[in-house]
């Protein structure tokens, strides 16, 4: 009887030991994370977009070789989540969010400076607003495993404030009006780098990313202008860098042109009217990125000067010439944003449009944007 009792005790002890070991193993395998520190940089540029960088110091456990997410959610000061309008930086339920993935190379991993970039324009706000953001860590099942406190900040964006006052020191309200084109009397000089074949592209009906295809459209136009035998469509061009249907940047355009043997140079220097005119006079066209809100809107449907649409966004256009009228320079552009907007003669409104040089230069400088000079092949 005594031996039986001892055997029972030993068996119970083994069961208990196995149970404790199992519990310890389960605890050891539980995925967890801890956010140690969050700090921000404001008014920085990434891929030629102005925005903020959020730096996160966090640790994550038991996610070896599995991919998680570090998300930043954005709110008004009162806690109302910002609403997304273009499905670029967004959550599944349509709120503004910027997120990046991570894949730990160790069982217990520390990220001492994990960076999340948020472009200001993707907050979809104009004017000054008091805001806040929160960081969340998600595991490989997109389950929340850590959240930060809220961090307050404010942003002023799209208000039309002039950052470089000297760029517009001679401009006043009367100068902002679009003149009647019949009042233009003295065209002092002009350059127009047209071809004896059509090379204009309308970004409408250019595939699933039509609304974001100003970059691919300009790349296709520039390639066709440089090389008459170039025969790729805007859809073909877009498919070289799908970017999930998102907006192209200047590097995408430059890489495409280089890879298709189109002679071009990407400049990161500050631009000026004189520099653009020099390139045009040398027989080269220029691809630039502007914010269309900086181009004066012209409601006269038949005039060919000024912005012809209400959309105010960052946008690629090609400068292909200029004219000096009454001592004021206007750039001749190919703007791919025609869609269904045509003149009464049937020609697209984005073709051979004139934008004021001071407005174009101001917009480029304000975005701190690069530019690409394309030469004939």
The model's pLDDT over 322-354, given as tens digits with 9 standing for 90+, comes to 999 888 999 999 999 999 999 999 999 999 999
Tell me what pLDDT residue 160 has. 33
Band of residue 22 on the pLDDT scale cut at 50, 70, 90:
low
> To which H or E segment does residue 284 belong?
none
- Taking the C-alpha atoms of residue 148 and residue 278, their distance in angstroms, rounded to an integer, is 53
For residues 335 and 44, the model is more confident at 335
346 burial via Cβ count (<10 Å: 0-12, 13-18, 19+): exposed
CA angle 85, 295, 277 (to 5 degrees): 130
- Taking the C-alpha atoms of residue 330 and residue 324, their distance in angstroms, rounded to an integer, is 6
Closest CA to 340 of 297, 309, 371: 309
Band of residue 126 on the pLDDT scale cut at 50, 70, 90:
confident
| pLDDT score of 144 more than 60 | yes
Average pLDDT over residues 278-302: 93
- Taking the C-alpha atoms of residue 233 and residue 209, their distance in angstroms, rounded to an integer, is 13
Band of residue 49 on the pLDDT scale cut at 50, 70, 90:
confident
Tell me what pLDDT residue 187 has. 66
Tell me what pLDDT residue 43 has. 80
Residues paired with residue 151 on neighbouring β-strands, in sequence order: 133
| pLDDT score of 246 more than 70 | yes
| pLDDT score of 21 more than 60 | no
The answer for residues whose C-beta is within 8 angstroms of residue 340's C-beta and 6 or more apart is 204
Q: Which two three-digit tokens encode residue 57?
A: 């110091």
> To which H or E segment does residue 123 belong?
none
- Taking the C-alpha atoms of residue 102 and residue 114, their distance in angstroms, rounded to an integer, is 9
Between β-strands 187-192 and 314-325, what pairing exists: parallel, antiparallel or unpaired? antiparallel
Q: Please give the span between the terminal C-alpha atoms of the chain, in angstroms, as a whole number.
A: 101
Tell me what pLDDT residue 311 has. 84
Tell me what pLDDT residue 26 has. 47
- Taking the C-alpha atoms of residue 352 and residue 350, their distance in angstroms, rounded to an integer, is 7
For residues 43 and 301, the model is more confident at 301
Q: Which two three-digit tokens encode residue 377?
A: 């092949």
Tell me what pLDDT residue 172 has. 39
Tell me what pLDDT residue 111 has. 94
- State the sign of the Cα–Cα–Cα–Cα dihedral 180, 185, 189, 193: positive
Band of residue 174 on the pLDDT scale cut at 50, 70, 90:
very low
H runs (alpha helix) in the chain: 2-29, 173-176, 214-226, 234-240, 250-259, 273-281, 357-367
The answer for residues whose C-beta is within 8 angstroms of residue 374's C-beta and 6 or more apart is 222, 225, 226, 257, 262, 263, 264, 284, 285, 286, 287
Average pLDDT over residues 23-36: 74
| pLDDT score of 146 more than 80 | yes
| Residue ranges of domains in the chain, CATH in brackets | 32-157 (2.60.40), 184-374 (3.90.70.10)
Which region among 157-161, 186-190, 221-225, 344-348 has the lowest average model confidence (pLDDT)?
Answer: 157-161
Average pLDDT over residues 129-158: 90
Tell me what pLDDT residue 169 has. 39
Q: What φ, ψ does residue 73 adopt, rounded to 5°?
A: -105, 145
Say if residues 127 and 63 touch (Cβ distance below 8 Å).
no
- Cα separations in angstroms, 148 against 113, 145, 195: 15, 11, 58
> To which H or E segment does residue 127 belong?
strand 127-138
Average pLDDT over residues 6-25: 58
Model pTM score: 0.57
Average pLDDT over residues 43-64: 88
CA angle 142, 20, 2 (to 5 degrees): 160
Band of residue 89 on the pLDDT scale cut at 50, 70, 90:
very high
Say if residues 273 and 358 touch (Cβ distance below 8 Å).
yes
Tell me what pLDDT residue 51 has. 86
CA dihedral 237, 252, 100, 88 (to 10 degrees): -60
| pLDDT score of 376 more than 50 | yes
- Taking the C-alpha atoms of residue 235 and residue 345, their distance in angstroms, rounded to an integer, is 27
Length of the chain counted residue by residue: 377
Neighbour count for residue 361 (Cβ, 10 Å): 25
| pLDDT score of 25 more than 60 | no
Tell me what pLDDT residue 129 has. 87
């Amino acid at each position: 009887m005594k031996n039986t009792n001892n055997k029972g005790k030993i068996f119970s002890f083994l069961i208990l030991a196995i149970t404790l070991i199992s519990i310890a193993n389960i605890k050891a395998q539980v995925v967890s994370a801890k956010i140690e520190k969050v700090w921000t940089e404001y008014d920085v540029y990434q891929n030629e977009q102005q925005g903020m960088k959020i730096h996160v110091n966090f640790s994550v456990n038991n996610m070896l070789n599995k991919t998680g997410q570090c998300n930043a959610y954005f709110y008004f000061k009162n806690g109302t989540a910002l609403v997304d309008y273009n499905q670029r930086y967004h959550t599944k339920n349509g709120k503004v969010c910027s997120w990046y993935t991570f894949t730990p190379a160790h069982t217990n991993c520390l990220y001492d400076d994990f960076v999340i970039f948020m472009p200001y324009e993707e907050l979809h706000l104009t004017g000054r607003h008091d805001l806040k953001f929160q960081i969340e860590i998600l595991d490989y099942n997109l389950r929340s495993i850590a959240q930060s406190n809220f961090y307050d900040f404010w942003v002023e964006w799209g208000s039309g404030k002039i950052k470089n006052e000297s760029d517009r020191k001679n401009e006043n309200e009367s100068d902002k009006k679009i003149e009647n084109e019949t009042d233009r009397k003295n065209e002092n000089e002009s350059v127009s780098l047209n071809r004896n074949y059509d090379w204009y592209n309308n970004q409408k009906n250019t595939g699933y990313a039509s609304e974001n295809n100003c970059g691919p459209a300009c790349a296709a136009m520039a390639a066709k202008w440089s090389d008459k035998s170039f025969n790729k469509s805007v859809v073909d061009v877009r498919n070289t860098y799908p970017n999930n249907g998102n907006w192209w940047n200047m590097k995408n355009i430059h890489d495409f042109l280089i890879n298709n043997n189109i002679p071009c140079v990407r400049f990161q220097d500050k631009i000026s009217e004189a520099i653009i005119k020099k390139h045009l006079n040398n027989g080269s066209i220029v691809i630039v990125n502007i914010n269309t809100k900086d181009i004066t809107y012209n409601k006269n449907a038949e005039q060919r000067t000024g912005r012809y649409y209400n959309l105010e966004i960052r946008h690629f256009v090609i400068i292909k010439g200029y004219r000096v009228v009454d001592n004021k320079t206007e750039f001749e552009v190919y703007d791919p944003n025609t869609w269904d907007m045509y003149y009464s003669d049937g020609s697209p409104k984005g073709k051979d449009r004139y934008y004021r040089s001071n407005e174009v230069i101001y917009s480029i400088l304000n975005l701190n944007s690069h530019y690409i000079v394309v030469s004939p092949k």
